[in-house]
Amino acid sequence: MSEHDIPRYVRLQVEVVLEVADPEALSAAAAQHVEADEFMPDEERRHAVAAVAEDTAEALAYLVDPIDLVSAVPGVELAQASWSSERVDDVDDPDLWLFDTPEPAEDPEEGSEEGSGEAAASRAPSA
């Protein structure tokens, strides 16, 4: 592949479901993060602190930043980023996943492709 065939922009989609084991710790960390933001206007700060105290999904959205995922990757600059969070009732719900999750092969040796770009961690977690 020549240098001209390589796309200049690449979309990286990451999907993660987290279990919130300690909602109070999560909310406290998010509130501390909001309070430390020196560029946030006071009115917005009050609203944000209240939001992270009431909603773990909101708290998580304040703490997880996709910019952090790529800031140390050599040779790339972030062009755009967006993210959101929502509460999930059932991690086994097939409608939860945006991406198709491959079924594991019958034989561990069978169906494995080197360099396929899919990591085992991309599969949906099992309860």
Residues 73-98 have a mean pLDDT of: 84
Taking 60 as the threshold, does the pLDDT of residue 115 lie above it? no
Q: Which residue has the higher pLDDT, 113 or 12?
A: 12
Confidence check: pLDDT of 59 > 60: yes
Q: Residue 102, SS3?
A: coil
Stretch 43-47: mean pLDDT, rounded? 97
Joined together, the tokens standing for residue 108 give: 């561990």
Instruction: Give the span between the Cα atoms of 34 and 59, in whole angstroms.
Output: 10
Length of the chain: 127
Cα separation, 24 vs 87, in Å, equals: 16
Q: What is the per-residue pLDDT for 90? A: 83
